Amino acid sequence: MPYSDEVLRRVREPQRVGTLTAGAGVGTGESGTLAHGTVTRMSVRVRGDRIVEARFKVFGCSAAIASASLVAEWLEGASLDAAAVLTAERVARALQLAPEREYVARMAIEAAREALAKVEEE
């Protein structure tokens, strides 16, 4: 099996799947296109300087699902400062992704950054 247990667990029992309804304190970002085979969407709810809720949706391979799931796990409960320094390399390392799959980790991070940038004023 080419994937680590960290990936397999998240693909088979994904957590934090969903989209948060737009509104005050909520931001949603997306990366990728269906035509390219992977789309990752990340939604966050921010209160003060903390992300209180994170949800993802994804169409793509196991690595894309696991990357989005892991980023949502990391975001929920994190401070905005901590979220700002999350990197694709860290995601890829935690999931032990093969180098050719690292781009999906980047997409999860890009979607998260866009979501945080788009958070509506409370």
Partner 1 sequence: MVYLDHHATTPVDTRVLESMLPFFAERFGNAASKHHAFGWAASDAVEQARKQVARLIGAGTRDLVFTSGATEANNLAIKGAAQARRGERDHLVTVVTEHQAVLDPMRRLERDGWRLTVLPVASSGVIDLAELERSVTERTALVSVMAANNEIGVLQPIAEAAVRAHAKGAWFHTDAVQAVGKVPFDVDALDVDLASITAHKLYGPKGAGALYVRRKGRAVKLAAQIDGGGHERGLRSGTLNVPGIVGLGRAAEIALAEMTAEAQRVAGFRDRLLEGLRAKTDGMSVNGGMTARLPGNLNVSFAGVDGEALMVSLDDLAVSSGAACTAAEPSHVLVALGLSRDRALASLRFGIGRTTTADEVEYAVTKVSEVVARLRAMAPSQWCA
Q: Under the rule (CB under 8 A), what is the footprint of partner 1?
A: 3, 8, 11-12, 14, 17, 19, 30, 34, 37, 39-41, 57-62, 64-65
The nearer residue to partner 1, 21 or 85, going by C-beta atoms, is 21
Provide the minimum distance between the beta carbon of 57 and partner 1 in the complex, in angstroms, as a whole number.
4
> What residues does 40 pair with on adjacent strands?
31, 58
Cβ closest to partner 1, residue 80 vs residue 110: 110
Compare residues 19 and 79 and give the one whose CB is closer to partner 1: 19
CA max distance for the chain: 46
Residue with smaller CB distance to partner 1, 64 or 119? 64
CB 59, min distance to partner 1, A:
4
Residue 54: burial class (beta carbons within 10 Å; 0-12, 13-18, 19+): buried
The residues, ordered by sequence, that sit 6+ positions from 73 with a Cβ below 8 Å of its Cβ are 15, 16, 54
Nearest-approach distance from CB 40 to partner 1, in angstroms: 8
Q: How far is the CB of 8 from partner 1 (least distance, A)?
A: 7
Is 104 within 8 Å of 44 (Cβ atoms)? Answer: no
Strand order in the sheet with 26-33: 26-33, 38-47, 50-59
